[in-house]
């Protein structure tokens, strides 16, 4: 019989030392510092993952180098990189740089459900993103969606609806979406029959 060491609940983020918070009805602790390095890198890793924007050749070590080197501070910055940026990284030759650059550029053509997944909106994963984009077919439509309209979607509850609504009414998140749009990322839903034109 072993005595387990007493578990001491952490009070601060091990990465940025911000105070950790709890959310009502959840047992997890969260760091709410938007500048937290570990969070920033984790969000970029999720952005490039297969279920999000599906960007090949950009793994955790590349993301770490890009972040540490000041090339990126968030996923949007990936779209500002050029071949020369990648070639400044450790052990990266021209072919690898080309593959990474091309994969990032190709991801601009991903449909809306993938962008919605990649944005790391709380409680919204791949499946719920697909459900939402069956009803709302562009970023602009989502900006004007009410909580009630979101909650009416089969499979999307009140908490998910609140989370999406809050994201699309958060000043920083809206700035991020505008920046993505200016970089050529303003997708429509893949099931949208009305138009192929990106507005």
pTM of the model: 0.83
Mean pLDDT, range 115-120, rounded to an integer: 97
pLDDT digit string, tens, across residues 158-188: 999 999 999 999 999 999 999 999 999 999 9
User: Cβ of 121: how many Cβ atoms within 10 Å?
Assistant: 19
How far is the CA of 147 from the CAs of 141, 152, 156, 169, 185, in angstroms?
13, 9, 11, 11, 25
CA angle 30, 35, 39 (to 5 degrees): 50
pLDDT digit string, tens, across residues 52-87: 999 999 999 999 999 999 999 999 999 999 999 999
Per DSSP (E only), the strands in the chain are: 20-22, 29-31
- Grade residue 191 by pLDDT with cuts at 50, 70 and 90: low
The per-residue pLDDT of the chain, averaged, comes to: 91
- Amino acid 37: pLDDT: 83
Counting other chains too, the contacts that 63-69 makes at CB distance below 8 Å and 24 or more residues apart are: 65/89, 65/90, 67/37, 67/40, 67/41
CA distance 37 to 137: 32
- Amino acid 21: pLDDT: 82
Phi, psi of 184 (to 5 degrees): 95, 15
CA distance 103 to 128: 25
Ranking 29-33, 59-63, 104-108, 192-196 by mean pLDDT, the lowest is 192-196
User: Which pair of tokens denotes residue 45?
Assistant: 């890793």
- Amino acid 199: pLDDT: 40
Count how many Cα atoms sit within 13 Å of the Cα of residue 133 in the half-sphere of its side chain: 24
- Grade residue 196 by pLDDT with cuts at 50, 70 and 90: very low
- Amino acid 27: pLDDT: 67
């Amino acid at each position: 019989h072993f005595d387990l060491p007493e578990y001491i609940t952490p009070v601060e983020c091990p990465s940025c030392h911000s105070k950790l918070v709890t959310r009502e009805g959840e047992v997890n602790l969260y760091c709410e510092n938007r500048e937290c390095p570990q969070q920033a890198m984790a969000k970029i890793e999720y952005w490039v993952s297969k279920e999000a924007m599906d960007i090949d050749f950009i793994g955790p070590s590349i993301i770490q180098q890009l972040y540490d080197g000041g090339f990126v501070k968030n996923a949007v910055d990936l779209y500002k990189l050029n071949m020369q940026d990648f070639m400044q990284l450790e052990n990266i030759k021209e072919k690898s740089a080309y593959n990474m650059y091309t994969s990032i550029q190709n991801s601009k053509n991903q449909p809306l459900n993938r962008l919605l997944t990649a944005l790391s909106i709380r409680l919204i994963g791949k499946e719920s993103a697909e459900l939402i984009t069956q009803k709302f077919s562009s970023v602009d439509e989502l900006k004007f969606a009410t909580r009630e309209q979101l909650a009416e979607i089969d499979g999307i509850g009140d908490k998910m609806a609140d989370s999406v609504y809050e994201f699309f009414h958060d000043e920083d998140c809206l700035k991020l979406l505008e920046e993505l749009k200016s970089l050529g990322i303003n997708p429509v839903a893949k099931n949208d029959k009305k138009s192929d034109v990106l507005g």
